Amino acid sequence: MVRRTKEEAEKTREALLDAAEFVFLEKGVANASLEDIARSAGVTRGAVYWHFENKLALFDAMHERVKLPMDELFERAMHDGDSFTALKEVCITVMRHLAEDARAKRVFTILLLKCEETCPAQSNVERQQQKRDKVIQRFEKIFTAAHQDGKLGPDTSPQTAAIALHATICGVLNDYVRNPEVLDIATLGPQLIEIFFRGISA
């Protein structure tokens, strides 16, 4: 059955991206064939190669369709004020958002568990690194301000606190995608953030 109008073609594209999420999640990116994805979307490989150049392009399109925790963390940490408590709120909001946005959760899980980082030159890995650095830099700025206000503990530098917060958040998200049914991030996330900030406070 041929999609005729432009809107129907767009539907096919979206269906392919949706199918990619589920197939990648189930079989892993490397082990999933374009045939699998096409069939899951109710079309053939012809449709896939019409909309996307190849598997990598499909993967990238799927990736760019969602806003992942680290993107959101950076954006919100930029705009939502510099205060200590505001940063806490941002962290909690980002975690909660991942639990609520099923699509973001799927793609994030794929990136963490179902996808190999091949050569470091891969655009995916590079961008990931840059995001990480930006987030940590942003954290460091906020913690430096807090440090000057005497809010930080005496033996914790702003830089250490920034890297530590990033590691903590990554840890929670990591544990969450590995057992989403056990670890309830909506309640445990805030608690862990609370523990962390208590640990670095004066």
Partner DNA sequence: CTTTACAAGCATACACGAATGTATGTAACC
Partner DNA sequence: GGTTACATACATTCGTGTATGCTTGTAAAG
**Among a copy of itself, DNA, none, what binds residue 181 when CB lies within 5 to 8 Å by partner kind?**
none
| Residue 190 is a binding residue for a copy of itself (CB under 8 A) | no
Pick from 116, 121, 150, 154 the residue near a copy of itself by CB under 8 A: 116
Q: Which of 14, 54, 129, 153 binds DNA (CB under 7 A)?
A: 54
Q: Which does 33 bind (CB under 5 to 8 A by kind): a copy of itself, DNA, none?
A: DNA
CB-based contact 63:56 (threshold 8 Å) = no
Q: Which is nearer to a copy of itself, 43 or 68 (CB)?
A: 68
CA–centroid distance for 178 within its chain: 14
199 forms part of the interface with a copy of itself (CB under 8 A):
yes
User: What single-letter amino acid sits at 29?
Assistant: V
DSSP state of 66: S
Give the 3-state secondary structure of residue 110: helix
Cα–Cα distance list, 161 to 89, 100, 147, 198 (Å): 17, 28, 10, 12
| Residues in contact with DNA by the rule CB under 7 A | 1-6, 8-9, 12-13, 33-35, 38, 43-47, 49-51, 54-55
